[in-house]
Structure 1
Amino acid sequence: MANGLGLIIEQTNKLIISPQIYQALEIMQLALPELLEYINNELMENPLLEVVEGYEQGLEPEDFPLEEQIIEQQQEKEDQWLDSIVGEVLREEKDNWTVNNKYEKDSVPIEGQWLDNNNLVDYLTEQLRFIENSWKLTKQELETAQFIIGNLDSNGYLTLSVEELAQILKISEDEVLKALKIVQQFDPPGVGARDLKECLKLQFPLLPHCPPKMEQFLDHLDDLAVGYYKKIAQALGVSVQEVKNMGELLKLLDPKPGSRFDRSSDIKYIIPDATIKKIDNEYFVLVNETDIPRLSINERYKKTLRELDDQEIRKFVREKVNSGLNLIKCIENRRSTIHDVLEEIIRRQKDFLDHGMSALKPLTMREVAEVVGIHESTVSRVSANKYIDTPRGVFPIKCFFAGSIGREKEVTAERIKEDLKRFIAEEDCTKPYSDQKLAELFAKEGIQIARRTIAKYREELRIPSSTLRKKTCK
């Protein structure tokens, strides 16, 4: 059968997301800080959008009495008169206030006078520049040390091996090691290490008294973490007390010397998207609208649309009007959807608001979506990266969607963790509960849970085993 070209007409159904729907989905997913940034960008790009002034007070020109309007007009006239007087003075004295360029050239700029201690790379580079002449570093040593500084991670550890550095820079490994030792003498102590053992070893000079077997002690860090003091003592030929003393000395050292320069862990402030208020034993949802500016379409451009004959301008104005109206509609739709979803969540999780995390009930997004009458993915967008301010504190919305544990359909993982912390807090530290004993305590309260599940949640809470809890008991 011969192949040929031809035209075939087919009718198919396809789901096409229009720009308006895509914008609505995007705005629905944005948290409040991101929404404010999005609105600011739209205000800069769309000249027809404007912020309604005095929205928070809800005041309109008709609200002012006639006498107050007259007083305002008089004040405006006085302000204009004062502005004209000040302008004349400024013009007369302009020559006297002009700064002589000679002094500008001789002055030293303030910027860059002080070292920015919030950047590890800049901090080390400044130290390298400072010792460049006094240590008589060669150009190669300087460039190698600078390359090493640029390959340190946020904790101050070297991310490349000596062999890899030698291959990249096309120099010998001895030359790399020489430059590395220069960097390792910089502040903070321990910077430039290739592993934890080397990092701690570089900080030994800081210890008031360093035991002779301290370096060998670093070979047993894994045993130290689980509390095998006798095993370490036998390996080093010292007493158990000496092992504990060396462990206390290690606590004086910093395993992450570069972490204090890492700004990724800075405090990030949360703006809740909604607030829950309790009034007469009832909870009400208040969506945060105080931070969101009220938008409207500029009437001047609407008039331009009716009067201008230029088709290009009319088309541009029409597109911007439609874009602005769609944005206003999307913001209102976001507000109403968040309100409806949170109302259903609060209705289901009222016990949590009354009694705390242990009263949190299993809840899925599908259950909320069916009641509100929206798709499950819309509930997911409403919950994404958003927080809610409740009488019990600020929580992410997603924390209200909790799954059940195995056969216990009415028990959540959060409740298991809360009860687990309570049991361990009440135990006798000289006879701590084993995971099996904890499972039996849950069984007495009517919750059937396996020992391995107890161990899983205990590890998630970073609670040590009963053996380690007994060793740390004082």
Structure 2
Amino acid sequence: MKQSLHLNLGQTLTMTPALQQAIRMLQLSTLDLKSEIQEALESNVMLEADDGHGEIDSNEAAEARKSEREQASGKDSEIPENLPVDADWDDIYAGSSSAPSSSASNSEDEDYWDYRQANLSSTPDLHAHLVWQADMHSFTTVQRAVAEVIIDAIDANGLLPDWDDVAARLAEEFDLDAPAIDGVLGEIQNFDPPGVAARDLAECLTIQLQGLPTDTPGRPLALTLVESEPLDQLAGPNLEALAKRRSLARRDLDQAIALIQTLQPHPGEAFSQHESNYVIPEVFVSRSSEGWHVALNSDIAPKLRINSQYLALIKRADKSADQTTLKSHLQEARFFLNSLKSRNDTLLEVAHCIVEAQRAFLEYGEEAMKPLVLRDVAEQLDIHESTVSRATANKYMQTPRGIFELKYFFSSHVSTTDGGSASATAIQAMIKRMVATEAPNKPLSDSKLAEALLDNGIRVARRTVAKYREALSIPPSHERRRKVG
């Protein structure tokens, strides 16, 4: 093969560190952004929180401004006002974790610690709770060892989904027969919480029913049903057929079913650690006599600025290690502030565009929601669709109608009979209203709902109606039918 040289012309996009950081910050949620800002404040001496205080001497300030102008005339990379490129920042940004520093001396960290402690459950671990009860029990040495293996096999729901494998391992390891192993299991099943260590859902419910007083209304029938009937037959439209097949009075059956519904199918759930999730809106939308107003939530992140005192120490011609460090921190601080500004500007522009497009929803409700896709906003703002997607990810808007995720305002187009279009969200709202006002003894089928929508000028297929109905967690018509009187 003959070797040769060729000259090709082409365009490539170079992702500078500044642009990478801007893309990364645009996608951060409110809590992640706070952590990112806190980490930047702790690692960069040039950044400080702007609390409106701490003014420096006027001469020093003038020197600082002069130094900053000189530095700005250098080769700092510019960050575009918007982010026009589709790029996955996970592939191009090898940044550190956004978790805050563990320094306990900082009041921000202390507030964060208090927040987590206030929202974390103080309930003991299920495993520790069961081990404590096993220690209190009169097990033999071998039984105690077997109990520990069984407790280790219990999942977070408090059940034993892999009992066959556990039993086989116990038989081989301790040379025990099935009755001996089942005996230890039976003792653990008497532990708290009721229903723990059950091998399946039916056994879990049975254990709980057996633990109730014998005179509990509905208990005998509930035990019979749980032990002999498939559990999916104990709900919905199957009850009438079940009562007829077993020759049961419907009142007795309803009483037993009501008792079963009070039981806990996941006894270990109460011992799971949980943290309350609070939604903090990034955007506020309000209305006045002049129209709708959109504003960013100024409380979600502290205002930042360049530290004027450190900036005044920078001397352009000095090449010492300290000066190099200060200049490096200054450049990183500018990158960070520009990225933060770019994020806020893009978010505000996208929010403005959403509010303008969905004014009908804000004024009249879900059924007035207009069709809107990422491309519509991207074309209006002259940015890439991926930028709109990042700007709306994990971010919320507070409106007079409630708090909504920004992505909620986007829905696909459905053609109407007059040549217009309706949004999928509006159609779902119409289906929800129709079902809420239907006759209990004659619920609307998917075909009837499609016909009703057509009467309103919206042409959708029956299968599309079924998809929207399922998305709203509305059961089919035969399950919604109820007798009247």
Conservation of the 8 A alpha-carbon contact between 2:372 and 2:423: no
Distance 1:351 1:281, change over 3 A: farther
Distance 1:472 1:200, change over 3 A: farther
2: CA distance between counterparts of 1:468 and 1:32? 42
Distance 1:412 1:214, change over 3 A: same
Matching of residue 464 in structure 1 with residue 464 in structure 2: no
Deviates more, 1:33-42 or 1:201-210: 201-210
SS in 1 for 2:439: coil
Q: Which residue number in structure 2 is paired with residue 72 of structure 1?
A: none
Matching of residue 246 in structure 1 with residue 256 in structure 2: yes
Conservation of the 8 A alpha-carbon contact between 2:441 and 2:483: no
Distance 1:206 1:304, change over 3 A: same
SS in 2 for 1:293: coil
Deviation at 1:371, TM superposition (A): 1.0
Q: Which residue number in structure 1 is paired with residue 80 of structure 2?
A: none
Conservation of the 8 A alpha-carbon contact between 2:367 and 2:426: yes
Deviation at 1:424, TM superposition (A): 1.9
Distance 1:414 1:433, change over 3 A: same
CA-based RMSD of the aligned residues comes to: 3.1
Runs (5+) with no aligned partner, structure 1 = 63-114
1: CA distance between counterparts of 2:222 and 2:322? 83
SS in 1 for 2:128: helix
Deviation at 1:213, TM superposition (A): 7.2
Runs (5+) with no aligned partner, structure 2 = 58-120
Distance 1:14 1:178, change over 3 A: farther
Q: Which residue number in structure 1 is paired with residue 370 of structure 2?
A: 361
1: CA distance between counterparts of 2:448 and 2:193? 47
1: CA distance between counterparts of 2:220 and 2:427? 45
1: CA distance between counterparts of 2:56 and 2:432? 60
Task: Percent identity, please.
Answer: 32
Q: Which residue number in structure 1 is paired with residue 68 of structure 2?
A: none
Which residue of 196, 201, 207 maps to 1:196? 201
2: CA distance between counterparts of 1:459 and 1:159? 30
Deviates more, 1:341-350 or 1:431-440: 431-440
Deviation at 1:404, TM superposition (A): 2.0
Q: Which residue number in structure 2 is paired with residue 22 of structure 1?
A: 20
Distance 1:180 1:279, change over 3 A: same
Deviates more, 1:237-246 or 1:390-399: 237-246
Corresponding letter in the other structure for 1:325 = R
Q: Which residue number in structure 2 is paired with residue 86 of structure 1?
A: none
Instruction: Report Cα offsets for 1:29-82 as digits up to 9, x if no partner.
Output: 112221111100111122222112237xxx9689xxxxxxxxxxxxxxxxxxxx
2: CA distance between counterparts of 1:176 and 1:384? 52
Deviates more, 1:254-263 or 1:193-202: 254-263
Deviation at 1:271, TM superposition (A): 1.0
Matching of residue 214 in structure 1 with residue 223 in structure 2: yes
Q: Which residue number in structure 2 is paired with residue 152 of structure 1?
A: 154
Which residue of 463, 466, 484 maps to 1:455? 466
Deviation at 1:142, TM superposition (A): 3.1
Once the two structures are superposed, the pairs formed by residues 70-469 of structure 1 within 5 Å of their partners are: 116-117=122-123, 119-131=125-137, 135-138=138-141, 140-164=142-166, 166-167=168-169, 170-171=173-174, 174=178, 176-204=181-209, 205-206=211-212, 208-209=216-217, 210-211=219-220, 214-218=223-227, 219-233=229-243, 235-236=245-246, 238-264=248-274, 266-306=275-315, 311-405=320-414, 410-469=421-480
Conservation of the 8 A alpha-carbon contact between 1:358 and 1:418: yes
Conservation of the 8 A alpha-carbon contact between 2:222 and 2:259: no
Distance 1:52 1:216, change over 3 A: closer
SS in 2 for 1:402: coil
Corresponding letter in the other structure for 2:208 = Q
Deviation at 1:282, TM superposition (A): 0.8
2: CA distance between counterparts of 1:212 and 1:348? 57
1: CA distance between counterparts of 2:154 and 2:440? 42
SS in 2 for 1:316: helix
Deviation at 1:420, TM superposition (A): 1.6
2: CA distance between counterparts of 1:448 and 1:199? 48
Deviation at 1:234, TM superposition (A): 5.4
2: CA distance between counterparts of 1:241 and 1:456? 35
1: CA distance between counterparts of 2:283 and 2:347? 8
2: CA distance between counterparts of 1:116 and 1:291? 28
Corresponding letter in the other structure for 1:246 = A
Aligned pairs, how many?
Answer: 412
Deviation at 1:23, TM superposition (A): 0.9
Q: Which residue number in structure 2 is paired with residue 51 of structure 1?
A: 49
Corresponding letter in the other structure for 1:220 = P
Deviates more, 1:175-184 or 1:218-227: 175-184
Conservation of the 8 A alpha-carbon contact between 1:431 and 1:470: yes
Deviation at 1:165, TM superposition (A): 5.7
Q: Which residue number in structure 2 is paired with residue 87 of structure 1?
A: none
Q: Which residue number in structure 1 is paired with residue 65 of structure 2?
A: none
Deviates more, 1:229-238 or 1:330-339: 229-238
Distance 1:431 1:41, change over 3 A: same
Distance 1:369 1:53, change over 3 A: same
2: CA distance between counterparts of 1:412 and 1:18? 39
2: CA distance between counterparts of 1:177 and 1:466? 46
Distance 1:354 1:238, change over 3 A: closer
Instruction: Report Cα offsets for 1:191-217 as digits up to 9, x if no partner.
Output: 122221111011112251522673354
Instruction: Report Cα offsets for 1:221-258 as digits up to 9, x if no partner.
Output: 22222322344345545444443332122122122222
TM-score (norm 2): 0.76
Deviation at 1:419, TM superposition (A): 1.4
Conservation of the 8 A alpha-carbon contact between 2:195 and 2:205: yes
Deviates more, 1:249-258 or 1:150-159: 150-159
Distance 1:216 1:224, change over 3 A: closer
2: CA distance between counterparts of 1:128 and 1:201? 22
Corresponding letter in the other structure for 2:264 = D
Deviation at 1:176, TM superposition (A): 4.8
Corresponding letter in the other structure for 1:19 = P
TM-score (norm 1): 0.78
Corresponding letter in the other structure for 1:48 = M
